[in-house]
C-alpha cells in the first residue's frame, strides 16, 4: 500500500466578516502517493477553493494540510511559493502559457524557476516530453500558433517538467471541444501510469472511472461521496 502524500485535517475556508459563509467545511481526508483523484461537484461547491488551499495558493481559515509531511498551512507566502515551484505542478482551465515564448521554452520554465541549468541535455529531455504528449511537431510554435488542445497539452508538459510530487488540474478541459478533452484525459492517464506522480483533477465531465481511480464529490463545501474503484 502506498503511503499518504497529502493529509488534510479539518480544513475550513470562511469568507465574509459580518455574514460568514463557510465555502469549505471541516474537510478531513488523505491522498495516497501515486494516486489519481477526480474532484467533482456542482459549480460553487468549493472545488477550486479546496485545490487552492491544499497547494497554498490561498490561506485556510482553519485546519491543517500536510504534503510529504510538510505543514503547508503554517508556511508563509514565500515558503509556500518556494514549495510550489519545487514540488507542485499546476494546470488550469486557461493554459497560462507565456505568449512571447514558444512551446518548448514554456515547457522549460519550471527548470528556470527552480534555478536549474537549462542546457542541451535539458532541452532534449523537454523535446522528448513534448513528443510523449503528442507535440513533437509543434514544439517551436508559439501559443497562438497552436490549437486549444495543443496549448493545454503544452501546459501539462510544463507541469510535469519540474518533476513535481503532485499535479493539480482545475477543469483542464473546460475550454476544449469534446475530442480535444478526450485527448487531454487520455494523456493524463498515460502520464499517471508512466510517472511517479500523484494527480488531482477537478472536472465537470463524466469520468469513465478506471481501476484505482478515486472520485471525491463536493457539495456545499463538504465531501459527500468518496469512492475508490
Ligand X SMILES: Nc1ncnc2c1ncn2[C@@H]1O[C@H](COP(=O)(O)OP(=O)(O)O)[C@@H](O)[C@H]1O
Chain residues binding ligand X by CB under 6 A are 15, 23, 41, 43-49
User: Nearest distance from residue 220's CB to ligand X, in Å?
Assistant: 9
User: Nearest distance from residue 41's CB to Mg ion, in Å?
Assistant: 9
- Closest of 207, 2, 61 to residue 50, by C-alpha: 61
137 contact partners, CB below 8 Å, separation of at least 6: none
Q: Which stretch binds Mg ion (CB under 5 A): 33-41, 46-54, 101-109, 177-185?
A: 46-54
Q: Which stretch binds Mg ion (CB under 5 A): 16-24, 31-39, 43-51, 71-79?
A: 43-51
Residues pairing with 31 in the sheet: 6
- Shorter beta-carbon distance to ligand X: residue 13 or 111: 13
- Closest of 5, 33, 3, 30 to residue 192, by C-alpha: 33
User: Nearest distance from residue 217's CB to ligand X, in Å?
Assistant: 11
Upper half-sphere CA count for residue 20 (Cβ side, 13 Å) = 8
Q: How many residues sit in the footprint of Mg ion (CB under 5 A)? A: 2
The rounded distance, in Å, linking the Cα atoms of 159 and 149 is 15
Q: Which residue has the cell 507541469?
A: 159
The rounded distance, in Å, linking the Cα atoms of 91 and 170 is 6
Question: At 47, which helix (H) or strand (E)?
Answer: helix 47-54
User: Nearest distance from residue 48's CB to Mg ion, in Å?
Assistant: 3
Q: Which residue has the cell 478541459?
A: 173
Q: Binding to Mg ion by residue 198, rule CB under 5 A?
A: no
- Shorter beta-carbon distance to Mg ion: residue 164 or 172: 172
User: Nearest distance from residue 137's CB to ligand X, in Å?
Assistant: 34
- Shorter beta-carbon distance to ligand X: residue 49 or 180: 49
143 is in the binding site of which of ligand X, Mg ion, none (Cβ under 5 to 8 A by kind)?
A: none
CB atoms within 10 A of CB 59: 14
Among 48, 154, 173, 203, binds Mg ion (CB under 5 A): 48
Contacts to Mg ion by CB under 5 A: 47-48
Amino acid at each position: 500500500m502506498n503511503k499518504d502524500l497529502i493529509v488534510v485535517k479539518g480544513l475550513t475556508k470562511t469568507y465574509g466578516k459580518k455574514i460568514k459563509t463557510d465555502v469549505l467545511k471541516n474537510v478531513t481526508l488523505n491522498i495516497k502517493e501515486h494516486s489519481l483523484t477526480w474532484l467533482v461537484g456542482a459549480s460553487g461547491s468549493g472545488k477550486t477553493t479546496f485545490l487552492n488551499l491544499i497547494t497554498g495558493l490561498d490561506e485556510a481559515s482553519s485546519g491543517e494540510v500536510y504534503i510529504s509531511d510538510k505543514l503547508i498551512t503554517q508556511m508563509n507566502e514565500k515558503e509556500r511559493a518556494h514549495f510550489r515551484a519545487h514540488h507542485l505542478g499546476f494546470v488550469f482551465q486557461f493554459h497560462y502559457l507565456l505568449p512571447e515564448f514558444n512551446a518548448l521554452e514554456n515547457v522549460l520554465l519550471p527548470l528556470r524557476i527552480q534555478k536549474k541549468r537549462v542546457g542541451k541535455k535539458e532541452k532534449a529531455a523537454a523535446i522528448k516530453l513534448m513528443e510523449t504528449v503528442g507535440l513533437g511537431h509543434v514544439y517551436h510554435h508559439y501559443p497562438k500558433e497552436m490549437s486549444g488542445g495543443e496549448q493545454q497539452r503544452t501546459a501539462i508538459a510544463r507541469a510535469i517538467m519540474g518533476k513535481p510530487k503532485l499535479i493539480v488540474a482545475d477543469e483542464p478541459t473546460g475550454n476544449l471541444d469534446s475530442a480535444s478533452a478526450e485527448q487531454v484525459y487520455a494523456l493524463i492517464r498515460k502520464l499517471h501510469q508512466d510517472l511517479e506522480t500523484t494527480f488531482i483533477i477537478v472536472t465537470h465531465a463524466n469520468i469513465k472511472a478506471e481501476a484505482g481511480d478515486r472520485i471525491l464529490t463536493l457539495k456545499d463545501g463538504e465531501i459527500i461521496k468518496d469512492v475508490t474503484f
